[in-house]
Amino acid sequence: MALALCAASAARADATPQQDDTKQQQADPQKSPDQKAPDKTAPDKARHVRPDAKLDRVVIEGASDESLRRTSTAAKIIVGREEIERYGDTTIGETLKRLPGITTGGRPGRGGDIRMRGMGNGYTQVLVNGERMPPGFSIDQIPPDQVERIEILRAPTAEYGARAIAGTINIVLREALQKRLNEWRLIESQEHGSRRPSVSWTRNDKLDDHGGAYNLTINAMRNEHNDDVASTALTYQPATNQTSLVTNTGHNNAASQGLHVTGRIQLRPTADDTLTFQPFIVLNSGTTQNAFVQTQSFCSTDPASVIHCLGYDHAGTVTKSHSEMARLMGQWQHRFDADTKLELHLGGGWMGSESHAFRQEFLDGAVSRTQDDAIASTHDSWNFTGKFSHNLGNDHSLVAGVEAENQSLNQDHVTLQDGLPRPALASFGDNIDATELRTAVYAQDEWTVGKQWAFYAGMRGEGVATKSTANSYDVDNRSVVWTPLLHALWKFDENSRDQLRASLTRSYRSPPLQSLVSLPGINSQYPCPDNGLCGANVVNAPDQMGNPQLKPELARGLEVAYEDYPTLGGVLSANAFYRHIENLIRTVTQLETVSWASVPRWVAQPQNIGDATTYGLELEAKFRLDQYWDGAPPIDLRNNISLFHSHVDGIIGPRATLDNQPRGVGNIGFDYRMRSMPLSFGGNFNYTPAQTIQQTNIQIATNSKKRVYDAYALWTFNPSVAMRLSANNLAPLDYATGSIITTDQAIVTTNSGGRSFTTWTVRLEIKT
């Protein structure tokens, strides 16, 4: 049976894309008509499926998915349902970290901000169903159970947008199938004594016999974290030869709960029209409590000294928050004929959040200061997209479109110190009203020359206008960027499994809304007095402030890749990339004269600091071991390694690199399904080396290495019931971050970190 399946897979992989698509539709009429990418990992399932299963359907599904990556002119990686579910991850970030060139911030095993090629904070464009989410929303808020597939584009395209200097990650939510199916997932996770239970239900069914179908997924969860925290700050003042060590040790407890609902309704009113509606609802609430003890070995009351006496020896903070988000996306697709199609998308959403943080500081057993922060934010958005597609008879596929997106932010931030407003910031007010309007037009042509060449040419023009009003702090920032894009694909011969790719691109990163409109924030370690202006602070405890004069970052890019697709499935690839970035944005800390202080204070503010370049190499190898070694067990190997290098002009130092970009990242993984019993298991080793980065001319930042072992085992009782056991972050390492800041007055060395822990997860999967 295995030999027959492999031979069938090899034969289908050699077929043309049109043949693959036709076979897919014939073999699986229950699939959603507009489903773009089936589960690419289905061949693993097909090789070990029971004799009474529909083998042809499963194998063809996998072949079509492999064909999608192989024939796409612009490089694209598809991650399907099986790979998303494999390790029982509780966050999408933990799934993504095993893919080529992707790293995550935060503690090992906890997910975090997503970075392609070590670049985050807006360099990586993250979309949900092709749309941008509101500021403050993290994809880690989306349970993996609600995700159908993940699409990764290493180079920008006109259709997905050019705000993707590092690349694009598109999270596609579950799709409607014309098949009645209920899926239950009961999950229990534990980390360091903290529980993370969740339950998920997915319902699929058809609405009629004309292509109408719906999908509904409901997920309820609770997360708990229990962490020890520790930090030190060593200050040396050369002028007086004095040294002071400040230590903080404490504990952090967090608990949150959430309810997430996604759905998809698909209607076919006529043979040429398709209507799709996708609601998306997220409800979250949580409480965080932390308490720590602070010691200071030496301080000075001399006003000229930079070693100030701190006003407390221990402190505690309680933060309560909740947020709600609701979005509705609608699409109408009309097919004029076999070669011409019109798509209209209209979406709208609302997100509201409130948080309340109460901090108490104590000195010698008595309360020395309290700070009460209340923030209420609402975020409204709408978006419209129109796309016209036409296939010409000479192998050209033309697409043109228009886009408009509007985001409105209203934020009230009230801070009370010892129960009273802070007069130092009274001139700035407590409210921000901001709007961001983005408009775009694009056109692209994709065509083939013979049976070996495929080309893509696109042009996109995009404008962003940001306006904000606050008391004496108005913002009006506008930018327009035109981005030409070229992609090419060449096969060694007509039926070759080897091919080359090349891309020339222009992309950009617009300043984040909060970086433009953010009001000043006073560092709580060096607060202002209740009745007047602030005094001095120190360089490692700066105030924060936005910058309405920021310009967008512009990048020119080059991609070159070689790919080989083995006959039994998988891929071997090598991808080289280069980016030259203009108007690089970086947070700079400097001593400034400000209206809220009687003396100059250290202020951290985003600024355009100059140009930068980055380049790297991404290697990937996915194959079955017995393809290359006779007699070897049929183990699927999934390995990748990526190497990065960058340099920021205008910053002195050997490690003047992009912010938080490591030198590389690598994964070694395997999957094996036993033939003698219904058991499959696998593991993955992820490694990111330690990094030292010259952030500015006065500051060096360090991050410890990340070494994460993950493992899973899946026991299939029958086609409808399975049990999955997974362990994330086996043999956990402590994590640490640090910095060295050198000024004319002092040298400050800081370190912070804590322990990371193993997460154990048991997951019961039921299909009815």
Query: pLDDT by residue (tens digit) across 700-747?
Result: 999 999 999 999 999 999 999 999 999 999 999 999 999 999 999 999
Question: Residue 610's beta-bridge partner residues?
Answer: 584
Q: Looking at the predicted structure, is the pLDDT value of residue 641 above 60? A: yes
Q: Looking at the predicted structure, is the pLDDT value of residue 275 above 90? A: yes
| 444 backbone dihedrals φ, ψ, rounded to 5° | -150, 155
pLDDT bracket for residue 288 (50, 70, 90): very high
| Nearest alpha carbon to residue 250 among 319, 316, 195 | 316
Mean per-residue pLDDT for 388-407?
92
How are beta strands 167-173 and 124-128 bridged, if at all?
parallel
SS3 content of the chain, % helix, strand, coil (to 5): 10, 60, 30
Mean per-residue pLDDT for 474-492?
92
Mean per-residue pLDDT for 202-224?
91
pLDDT bracket for residue 345 (50, 70, 90): very high
Query: pLDDT by residue (tens digit) across 439-482?
Result: 999 999 999 998 899 999 999 999 999 988 766 667 888 999 99
C-alpha span between 275 and 252 (Å, rounded): 48
Q: Looking at the predicted structure, is the pLDDT value of residue 625 above 50? A: yes
pLDDT bracket for residue 53 (50, 70, 90): very low
pLDDT of residue 168: 95
pLDDT bracket for residue 17 (50, 70, 90): very low
- List, as one string, the DSSP characters of 12-42: HHTS-HHHHHHHHHHH-TTS-TT-----TTH
Interacting residues of 582 by C-beta distance below 8 A, sequence separation 6+:
553, 554, 555, 611
How are beta strands 664-673 and 636-648 bridged, if at all?
antiparallel
pLDDT of residue 650: 84
| 162 backbone dihedrals φ, ψ, rounded to 5° | -105, 5
Interacting residues of 325 by C-beta distance below 8 A, sequence separation 6+:
134, 137, 280, 281, 282, 349, 350, 351, 352
Query: pLDDT by residue (tens digit) across 126-144?
Result: 999 888 887 777 888 888 8
C-alpha span between 657 and 661 (Å, rounded): 7
Mean pLDDT over all residues of the chain? 87
C-alpha span between 264 and 278 (Å, rounded): 5
Coil, helix or strand at residue 425: helix
Residues in the chain: 768
Domains, the chain, ordered by start: 208-767 (2.40.170.20)
Q: Looking at the predicted structure, is the pLDDT value of residue 48 above 70? A: no
Q: Which has the minimum average pLDDT: 114-118, 393-397, 506-510, 705-709? A: 393-397
Coil, helix or strand at residue 94: helix
What single-letter amino acid sits at 610?
G
Q: What pTM, to 2 d.p., does this model score?
A: 0.85
C-alpha span between 565 and 572 (Å, rounded): 6
Q: Percentage of the chain surpassing pLDDT 70? A: 90
Mean per-residue pLDDT for 6-21?
37
pLDDT of residue 44: 39
